[in-house]
Amino acid sequence: MKVGIINVTGYAGAELARILSQHSEVEVSCVTGRSAAGQKLGEVFPHLSSLDLTIAPELDGSLDLVFSALPHKASAEAVIPALERGLKVVDISADFRLKRAAEYEEWYGVQHQHPAYLEEAVYGLTELHRAEVQAARLVANPGCFPTSAILALAPVVQHGIIEPDIVIDSKSGVSGAGRGLSLSTHFSEVNENVMAYSVDGHRHLPEITQELAALTQERLSVTFLTHLIPMTRGILSSCYARLRSGGDWDGPQGVGRIRELYQAYYAGHPFVKIAPKPPQTKETLGNNMCLLYPTVDLRTGRLIVISCLDNLVKGAAGQAVQNMNLMCGFPETAALEALAVYP
């Protein structure tokens, strides 16, 4: 199957090319990147030189599926022509994740040019929407923070065992900000430093709320705070909610029941693992796994779920390939079975 990558010169686009180079059923036949158009891919990214591709200004040639790794707004403009040509699309941007155009415009500050596609697009968190992804022609790849948070909270929200007031504290490596230059991600600013950002509201909040709200009849109250930490890759989200009374969550047996709930919920999902101890970001470096550690603070009756993933793999390119595999009838794990890189 021939695929194209729009904007291969960003971190997510380059990671897509790396993962797809190992896919036995896929040929990356076209990559774009306007700032580097005309250059060999290996000149821009030496580790991708084996692909022997020239970066084009626009998609060309016969393709079956297109990935877009462009920023929001630009991505929708680029993938609509591909959809109109009958191609399948996995969009890594935020352009098709939210179902309401007004909400998208509120959080992203631009008018959505193609709102008719919002209803058709499938939110590509495969652990929640596998059947829909399999039948889709347009998949909205989830954001990195929402992937970690939604996977951490979906079992308890759907089973109604927590109060609706939820706190999500997330920390991300610098690559989550993209490859573009900015003062806030300059080495001297980030090194030996931790900072909270988007304190008044992160763009990924409505995405988290949308997906969790679909699992319950209750109105959720979600507090979501993000932090930038001095490492290249990784997200660690610590999620908190009070357990409902009467659920018999006291003592080690209660903690065990919570873990059994999570293990049953994600049984058969190859890229979510219930960790035996609190996971670390290095344990997911370079692979498509999300590690979850659910437990209970027995002093307060509060659920704690720690979630770890690689923001460029399960949080972006790896999940996009996972979606492609399901859309095209390949094994879900194809090209995604690499172990984490350690140390």
Rounded-to-integer distance, Cα 343 and Cα 23, Å: 25
Which residue has tokens 């059994």?
A: 260
Q: Minimal CA–CA distance to 143: which of 195, 112, 115, 107?
A: 107
Rounded-to-integer distance, Cα 15 and Cα 286, Å: 9
Task: Check: CB of residue 66 under 8 Å from CB of residue 3.
Answer: yes
Rounded-to-integer distance, Cα 317 and Cα 104, Å: 22
Q: Buried b / exposed e across 159-168, counting CB within 10 Å, b at 16+?
A: eebbbbebeb
- Is 144 considered catalytic here? yes
Query: What count of other Cβ atoms lies within 10 Å of the Cβ of residue 210?
Result: 17
> Which residue in the list 30, 144, 239, 290 is annotated as catalytic?
144
Kindly report whether the peptide bond that precedes residue 146 is cis, defined as omega within 30 degrees of 0. Answer: no
Count of all residues that appear for the chain in the document = 343
Give how far Cα 135 sits from Cα of 13, 49, 121, 165, 325, Å.
24, 34, 11, 34, 12
Rounded-to-integer distance, Cα 270 and Cα 289, Å: 8
Catalytic residues: 144
